[in-house]
């Protein structure tokens, strides 16, 4: 172990945590309004493909990220309509999106690029150094010389914390996930908040997916989301439904991911598949350890019917 190894590990941890964090924040906005969306994997997959495709065609990573967000929103509206308007089961429609969206992504990819073996690539988003802070020894270069998406994501974390803790709108929003009927009697439009939640969730999960192709790896491969949608679900629980907690949870899972890649590179005589398991095993262990004691928003996953007897 040397400084370079540790520096690389930290750098990779942050890079790995960001897509997870984006997706988890989307889920946080969903669950705070009682929308347990397990379709994150699918939303991220379609975001990832659209982000790649748009970046490839236009040459702009920013446009790719934006379109990835829009694709996530568009697909999530299926879930929103079914669960909010039709009061259908959240799990069923979340799962439906997990099956539908990645398949749609692969389909679009094949239609556009054909089934040739040539790998299409784009240019990744470049890092931007923050003047002043980047001069801090060791950490400066690691933490303050990242892509703009990293800074934006951290800004979203801070915004989210303030929104839910300090603002009237955030308080009203939270009430929808806790006790929608009470919220309704106080004149909060439950349906509107729930749809808004689905828009935010779709957008952030879409960006999370698009991050993978525009800022992380410069190409799209099938299954590149690799379970991050599900780990994000765990991160929301692990982070106790607060943005700060989710940040730490994602850094932890990101660290596991970073570690496994480093370990794969080093030759220990162990099949690399074992290292690949690390993030997933960490997820299972964490959920087992904290599982039973956690209580999320009370009305999570329950349909809200306005005129219910």
Partner 1 sequence: MRMEHISKRFGDFYANKDVSLDVRKGEVHTLLGENGAGKSTLMNILIGLYQPTEGKIFLKGREVRIESPSQAVKLGIGMVHQHFMLVEAMTVFDNIVLGDKNHKGIFIDKEARKREILALSEKYGLDVQPDRLITEISVGEQQRVEILKALYHGAELLILDEPSAALTDIEVEGLFEIMNKLISEGKSIIFISHKMREVLRISDRITILRAGEVVTTVNRGEYDGQGLANLMIGRELSASQYEKKDSQAETVIELRGAEFNKESKHNGLNGVNLSVRKGEIVGIAGVDGNGQTQLAQLVTGVIRPDQGEVSLKNSKVAVFDPDNFIREGVTHVPEDRNLQGLIGDMTIADNLVLRTTDKAEFSSGGGLFLKKGRIRNYARQMAKKYDIRCTSVEQDVRSLSGGNQQKVILARELEAGPDLLVAAHPTRGLDIGATRFVHDEMIQARDSGVGILLISADFDEILEMSDRILVIFEGQIMGEYSGKNPPIEEISLAMTGK
Shortest distance (Å) from residue 305 CB to partner 1: 11
Could you count the other beta carbons within 10 Å of the beta carbon of residue 258?
23
By beta-carbon proximity to partner 1, the closer residue of 29 and 211 is: 29
Tell whether residue 175 is a contact of partner 1 (CB under 8 A).
yes
Number of residues that bind partner 1 (CB under 8 A): 24
- Tell me whether residue 220 or residue 304 sits nearer to partner 1 (CB atom): 304
Q: Which of residues 278-297 bind partner 1 (CB under 8 A)?
A: 297
> 128 by DSSP, 3-state: which?
strand
- Least Cβ distance, residue 54 to partner 1 (angstroms): 33
Question: CB–CB of 33/197 below 8 Å?
Answer: yes
Residue 307 found at the interface with partner 1 (CB under 8 A): yes
Query: Binding pattern to partner 1, positions 131-170, x when CB under 8 A?
Result: -----------------------------------xxxx-
State yes or no: residue 32 binds partner 1 (CB under 8 A). Answer: no
Q: CB of residue 162 vs partner 1: minimum separation in angstroms?
A: 8
Shortest reach from residue 40's CB to partner 1, in Å: 24
**Rounded least distance, CB 158 to partner 1, Å:** 15
At which residue do the structure tokens 């590990």 appear? Answer: 9
Q: What sign does the dihedral 282-250-202-61 (CA atoms) show?
A: negative
**How many other C-beta atoms lie within 10 A of the C-beta of residue 226?**
17
- CA 83 – CA 73 distance, rounded (Å): 15
As measured in angstroms, the least distance from the Cβ of 41 to partner 1 is: 28
| Cα separation, 277 vs 265, whole angstroms | 15
3-state SS of 41-68? HHHHHHHHHHHHHHHHHHCCHHHHHHHH
Which strand (E) or helix (H) includes residue 146? strand 145-146
**Binds partner 1 by CB under 8 A, chosen from 8, 172, 217, 218:** 172
Question: What minimum distance in Å lies between the beta carbon of 169 and partner 1?
Answer: 7
Give the containing element (helix H, strand E) for 170. helix 168-178
- As a whole number of angstroms, the distance between CA 147 and CA 127 comes to 4
Q: End-to-end CA distance of the chain: give it in Å, rounded.
A: 65
Cα separation, 33 vs 196, whole angstroms: 9
Nearer to partner 1, 123 or 167 (CB): 167
Name residues contacting partner 1, limited to 177-196 (CB under 8 A). Answer: 178-179, 181-189
Q: For partner 1, give the closer residue by CB, 179 or 302.
A: 179
For partner 1, the binding residue among 11, 96, 154, 171 (CB under 8 A) is 171
Q: Does 68 bind partner 1 (CB under 8 A)?
A: no
Helices 228-238 & 3-32, crossing angle to 10 degrees? Answer: 80
Name the residue nearer to partner 1 (CB basis): 110 or 298: 298
**Choice between 39 and 297, CB closer to partner 1:** 297
Footprint of partner 1 (CB under 8 A): 166-169, 171-172, 174-175, 178-179, 181-189, 297-298, 306-307, 309
């Amino acid at each position: 172990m040397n400084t370079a190894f540790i520096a690389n590990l930290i750098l990779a941890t942050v890079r790995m945590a960001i897509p997870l964090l984006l997706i988890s924040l989307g889920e946080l906005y969903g669950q705070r309004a009682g929308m347990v969306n397990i379709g994150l994997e699918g939303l991220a997959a379609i975001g990832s493909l659209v982000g790649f495709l748009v970046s490839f065609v236009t040459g702009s990573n920013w446009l790719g990220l934006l379109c990835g967000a829009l694709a996530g929103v568009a697909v999530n509206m299926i879930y929103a309509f079914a669960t909010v308007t039709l009061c259908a089961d959240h799990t069923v429609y979340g799962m439906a999106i997990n099956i539908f969206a990645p398949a749609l992504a692969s389909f679009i990819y094949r239609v556009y690029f054909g089934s040739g073996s040539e790998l299409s690539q784009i240019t990744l988003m470049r890092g931007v150094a923050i003047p002043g802070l980047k001069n801090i020894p060791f950490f400066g270069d690691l933490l303050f010389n990242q892509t703009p998406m990293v800074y934006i994501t951290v800004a979203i974390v801070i915004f989210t914390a303030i929104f839910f803790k300090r603002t009237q709108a955030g308080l009203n929003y939270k009430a929808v996930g806790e006790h929608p009927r009470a919220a309704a009697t106080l004149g909060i439009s439950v349906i509107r908040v729930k749809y808004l939640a689905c828009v935010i969730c779709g957008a952030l999960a879409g960006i999370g997916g698009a991050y993978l192709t525009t800022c992380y790896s410069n190409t799209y491969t099938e299954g590149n989301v690799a379970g991050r949608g599900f780990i994000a679900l765990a991160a929301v629980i692990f982070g106790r439904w607060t943005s700060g907690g989710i940040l730490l949870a994602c850094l932890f899972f990101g660290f596991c991911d970073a570690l496994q890649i480093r370990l794969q590179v080093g030759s220990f005589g162990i099949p690399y598949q074992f290292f690949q398991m690390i993030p997933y095993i960490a997820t299972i262990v964490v959920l087992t350890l904290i599982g039973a004691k956690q209580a999320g928003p009370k009305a999570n996953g329950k349909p809200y019917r306005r005129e219910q007897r």
